[in-house]
Amino acid sequence: MTVIGLIGLGRVGFRALKILINRKELFIKIFEKDPFKKSLVSEYENIEFVETRSFEDIERHMNDIDLFMTALPSRDAFKIIMRLAEKCVDIVDVSYIYEDPYVLEKIFMKCGRTYIPDAGFAPGYSNLLAGYAQDLFKDIERLEIYVGGIPRENIPPIGYVVTWSAEDLLEEYLRPARVIFDQKIVYKDPLEHIGEIEIPGIGVFQWFYSDGLRTLLKNIKARNMFEATLRWRGHLEKMRILKDLGLLSREKIVIDNNQIDMIRILASVFEKNLKIKTDDMAILFIRAVSRDERVYEETVVMYGDHEDPATTRFTAIVFASSLELLIDKRSEIDPGIMPLEKLYRYKDYYEERVYRYQPKKDLVKINRRIL
């Protein structure tokens, strides 16, 4: 039996767990600080719940664990990942960390272990398609990645609902976006430029630069490359107002002698007021143009509802599938840092699971063309 450690039982972690518990050869130890979440998994036999207040709680229960999954807020994740790396274990991570995972490459190479970062929807599945595009064309003139998890309709007050960590969501509007223009890295303020795109068969959306290239900056050779996040028309103007008011900021405010980050206040407001019961969709559209003007386009759309949001489901499927890949193809996967663009040869493996792990038919559509 293979023992897995899952750190974090939030929206994504719990959904990934529900996929993996069907593999009877797995025993999963869950490390979670909220003791009330134990009731969520009490019905399962191949589960152990460990209430976790510090890394020492993890250490006491990890002697038989060789493979960890981490699903934590970005502000906490990398500290845990660094300490796990020192224990010479394999890691699959879905957190939107700020740090460069390659700073840990020497540790993983020395240990002969593998670290799959950004194992989610985007970054994640988007990286897989970017790696596939590079394998197709070798010399990419332009790579454009458009991603978004949004309501199916432009609903008030801001055309958006919260389906994952609100704090990490707000990071997308705040963190400078790294893009490639003429083979040079350029930093963009996410809300400085608002673009517009029509995605065939889906609709017309606004977009803004987001910092989703991350490991692609190292592993994909393109003259021009960017990731953009999709939103309904009007949403980004409202986010600009929040930024102008100082709410979309890491500055601290003093309330009753307590210092609180402004962004955490706004995240709490979003968590409280934007958990609206509505259907949603996760959209991924990628376009690659080669130096000789060949074109590869792929559109992936997943549909969800308020009980099973598409973005959360898509992220959990890629997260769980990455864990399964490390188990099923262990002898084929090299040690070191292995983001999904380096695993492009397993595109069919991931795509089959994107279809398989839907709760019912017709919730995902994939279209591609190569010209």
Architecture, CATH, for domain 2-120+313-360? 3-Layer(aba) Sandwich (3.40)
Q: What is residue 104's predicted lDDT score, i.e. its pLDDT?
A: 97
- The phi-psi region of residue 96 (left if phi > 0; otherwise alpha if psi is between -120 and 50; otherwise beta) is beta
Per-domain residue ranges of the chain: 2-120+313-360, 125-308
Q: What is residue 165's predicted lDDT score, i.e. its pLDDT?
A: 78
Query: How would you write the pLDDT of the chain (371 residues) with one tens digit per residue?
Result: 899 999 999 999 999 999 999 999 999 999 999 999 999 999 998 999 999 999 999 999 999 998 999 999 888 899 999 999 999 999 999 988 889 999 999 999 999 999 999 999 999 999 999 999 999 998 999 999 999 999 999 999 998 988 777 888 898 899 999 999 999 999 999 999 999 999 988 999 999 999 999 999 999 999 999 999 999 999 999 999 999 999 888 888 888 888 888 989 999 999 888 877 889 999 999 999 999 999 999 999 999 998 999 999 999 999 999 999 999 999 999 999 999 999 999 999 999 999 999 999 899 999 999 99
In three state form, how does the secondary structure of the chain look? CEEEEEECCCHHHHHHHHHHCCCCCEEEEEEECCHHHHHHCCCCCCEEEEECCCHHHHHCCCCCCCEEEECCCHHHHHHHHHHHHCCCCEEEECCCCCCCHHHHHHHHHHHCCEEECCCECCCEHHHHHHHHHHHHHCCEEEEEEEEEEEECCCCCCCCCCCCCCHHHHHHHHHCCEEEEECCEEEEECCCCCCEEEEECCCEEEEEEECCCCCCHHHHCCEEEEEEEEEECCCHHHHHHHHHHCCCCCCCEEEECCEEEEHHHHHHHHHHHHCCCCCCEEEEEEEEEEECCCCEEEEEEEEEECCCCCHHHHHHHHHHHHHHHHHHHCHHHCCCEECCHHHHHHHHHHHHHHHHHCCCCCCCEEEEEEEC
For residues 115 and 90, the answer to whether their CB atoms sit within 8 Å is: yes
Architecture, CATH, for domain 125-308? 2-Layer Sandwich (3.30)
Task: Give the number of other Cβ atoms within 10 Å of residue 293's Cβ.
Answer: 8
Q: What is residue 276's predicted lDDT score, i.e. its pLDDT?
A: 75
d(CA 100, CA 262): 25
Cα angle for residues 318, 94, 158 (degrees, 5° grid): 90
What are the CA-CA distances from residue 130 to residues 70, 124, 266 (Å)? 24, 10, 33
Q: What is residue 141's predicted lDDT score, i.e. its pLDDT?
A: 97
Q: What is residue 348's predicted lDDT score, i.e. its pLDDT?
A: 97
